[in-house]
């Protein structure tokens, strides 16, 4: 009964890094294709990549879940259908990754790296969008530790990235 | 954009208490009316009251979120559209209550009482279904501490309980 | 190797309730006897009952651990030898109770009730100090749900309360 | 009043990686020097590097805190004076890092990388022991993201690593 749940992770607008328009547009496209493939979009529910991917999904009939660090939904972006208020601060990164059947990263700082680490631990299919900056470019194409559990794939195209994730989940 | 989110809490099937058929039927009815009122049903995602309320919602076109203690969705009941895998064990009770705009309790043990406590702290409208047993009958109609922040209302009828919760959320 | 860990729970100074001098003195006495019995004092690390019990322990050669909701130790009281910075907000109540071999409550609001609920779930010996107000007086002498797992004992005297907890832990 | 708290992170014995005797010996030495410098040793409380560092501390009069994923202390190693039972699973990695004034890593897999990420976010002084394997060798000497908040220093010698951490904390 559970629907397919795809996580989108990346830069938050509150961080010290200026996010390029092209990166936000990529996030929007990722959200759009998640919606078009009838999967549910999971994110951390805040700004930047989280907001633009939710916007892309909502503009194309998708359904979005924001898992926020706070005890209430006040700081969630406007494109979340459901807000999960964890109240556990940034440890909610674990919940974003655990709740995703597969993960797509767009840029991102060390918080995004934590989510990739949790995805790696639990062997979730993961794709880092190429040239989206940040940890997606630093760690894309790599194994995060010597155990080589699962590689972070890279892909330039949001639609292909979504299709890759879905194909991997389906084959499990 | 966020939809109305109503939490249903109560007995888990895994506990030592035998849950009566009437209590499970009440849970089903609560889920049914949450669906009929177009609200999203939030629960702990496991068995007993959680499962029957999700079933009631799904049989009537509703949408259900299960927030489970585990790192994966294996133990979620079959009637969850979305499973939030917290991996934080029973502390997820906080997340169930924080993520609910209002809460309806059906029977329940001490875990349900914790969710009522969190609802009380955050002044969420709460209704305990009368004669559903457990902590719903013990604490229904009472304030949980001397600060008298918000009373746990009681109601015999699932449809009225749902309507009461919705009316309270709307007036906030 | 692990030492005996006794939790002290109760009113926080930040809450809306005025805590009486007598209640704070009781908290101090509880901390003093935990130190005298060579047990480690576990608390939520903030003000009110938490602070006074830590002070009582430190004035008598004890060792104190404060498990705070925050990501850093800035708001911990001055009498904590060790501060555990959870960053998970009030869900840290679970950690306070899980980390205590036995629990003594002095007054307290609904947050204290949550800690008693977790102690009850895990069948920890618990004593509520009589006439200390709040949930200690409301729920002392009672079972928290119909399963009657473990009663919250009551005791007027801090030294006896500590000795009772220790005797119960030792016999397990 | 709070004492200096130094975190030791690295390989867990339960993982799929065979930990070399030399790495465990290094962990022991790190614990020994934390004890000799009168700091408190914080760790995840389980096996491997956690256990050997605690052993090194206890053999030299130190004090050790194990912050375990579980609801009880059964799986904690035998060299923890205090066990913090979080019950929140691997999210406890955040608590280990938040509770450490500085961090020393010895080998380690992706869980250790998560702790380094949290240390990086909160700008804690961190040292990876050279040639200890795993993520300590992969990420030592690097910034974890493009913001270059704080570098993970490297050091071959446990005593110098401890002294470096202490000097950095003192100057804050």
* CATH top-level class of C5-171: alpha beta
pLDDT at C80 over 70: yes
Q: Which residues contact D18 (CB under 8 A, 6 or more apart)?
A: none
If we measure between CA atoms, which residue out of D95, D60, D94, D92 comes closest to residue D79? D60
| Smallest Cα distance from A112 to chain D, Å | 10
pLDDT at A27 over 60: yes
For residue B16, count CB atoms less than 10 angstroms from its CB and return exposed for 0-12, middle for 13-18, buried for 19 or more: exposed
Q: How large is the ipTM?
A: 0.97
| Smallest Cα distance from C128 to chain D, Å | 22
Nearest CA in chain A to C70: A89
The pLDDT score that the predictor gives to residue B151 is 98
CB atoms C99 and D84 under 8 Å: yes
Distance CA B115, CA D123 (A): 35
What letters, b where the CB count within 10 A reaches 16 and e where it falls short, cover B122-142?
bebbbbbbeebbbbbbbbbee
Q: Is B87 on the interface with A (CB under 8 A)?
A: yes
Distance CA D48, CA D27 (A): 9
Q: Is A90 on the interface with B (CB under 8 A)?
A: no
The pLDDT score that the predictor gives to residue C2 is 85
If we measure between CA atoms, which residue out of A127, A116, A123, A122 comes closest to residue A26? A127
Q: What are the pLDDT digits (tens) for B17-39?
A: 789 999 999 999 999 999 999 99
Average pLDDT taken over every residue of chain B = 96
Distance CA D56, CA A154 (A): 43
Whether D19 and D27 have beta carbons less than 8 Å apart is answered as no
The secondary structure element, H or E, covering residue D78 is none
CB atoms A88 and C90 under 8 Å: no
CB atoms C90 and B94 under 8 Å: yes
What is the mean pLDDT of the segment spanning D74-80? Answer: 97
Residue ranges of domains in chain D: 5-171
Region of B164 please: left (phi>0), alpha (psi -120 to 50) or beta: alpha
Q: Is B38 on the interface with A (CB under 8 A)?
A: no
CB atoms B87 and D88 under 8 Å: yes
| Smallest Cα distance from A138 to chain D, Å | 8
Q: Is D114 on the interface with A (CB under 8 A)?
A: yes
The pLDDT score that the predictor gives to residue A172 is 54
Helix (H, G, I), strand (E, B) or coil at D47: coil
In this predicted structure, which of A10-19, D43-52, D56-65 has the lowest mean pLDDT? A10-19
**CA separation, residue A114 to residues A136, A144, D70, D115, D116 (Å):** 12, 11, 21, 9, 10
Nearest CA in chain D to B88: D88
Q: Is D116 on the interface with A (CB under 8 A)?
A: no
| Smallest Cα distance from D112 to chain A, Å | 10
Region of A20 please: left (phi>0), alpha (psi -120 to 50) or beta: beta
What is the mean pLDDT of the segment spanning B134-161? Answer: 98
Nearest CA in chain C to A69: C88
The pLDDT score that the predictor gives to residue B14 is 75
């Amino acid at each position: 009964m559970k629907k397919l749940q795809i996580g989108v992770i990346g830069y938050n607008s509150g961080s010290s890094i200026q996010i390029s328009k092209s990166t936000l547009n990529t996030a929007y496209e990722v959200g759009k294709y998640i919606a078009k493939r009838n999967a549910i979009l999971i994110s951390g529910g805040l700004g930047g990549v989280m907001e633009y991917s939710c916007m892309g999904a909502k503009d194309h009939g998708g359904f979005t879940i924001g898992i926020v660090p706070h005890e209430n939904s006040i700081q969630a972006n406007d494109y979340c259908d459901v807000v999960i208020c964890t109240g556990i601060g940034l440890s909610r990164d674990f919940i974003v990754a655990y709740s995703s059947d597969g993960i797509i990263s767009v840029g991102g700082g060390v918080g995004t790296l934590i989510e990739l680490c949790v995805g790696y631990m639990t062997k979730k299919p993961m794709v880092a969008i190429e040239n989206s900056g940040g940890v997606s470019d630093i760690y894309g194409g790599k194994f995060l530790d010597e155990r080589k559990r699962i590689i972070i794939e890279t892909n330039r195209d949001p639609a292909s990235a979504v299709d890759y994730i879905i194909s991997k989940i389906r084959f499990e």
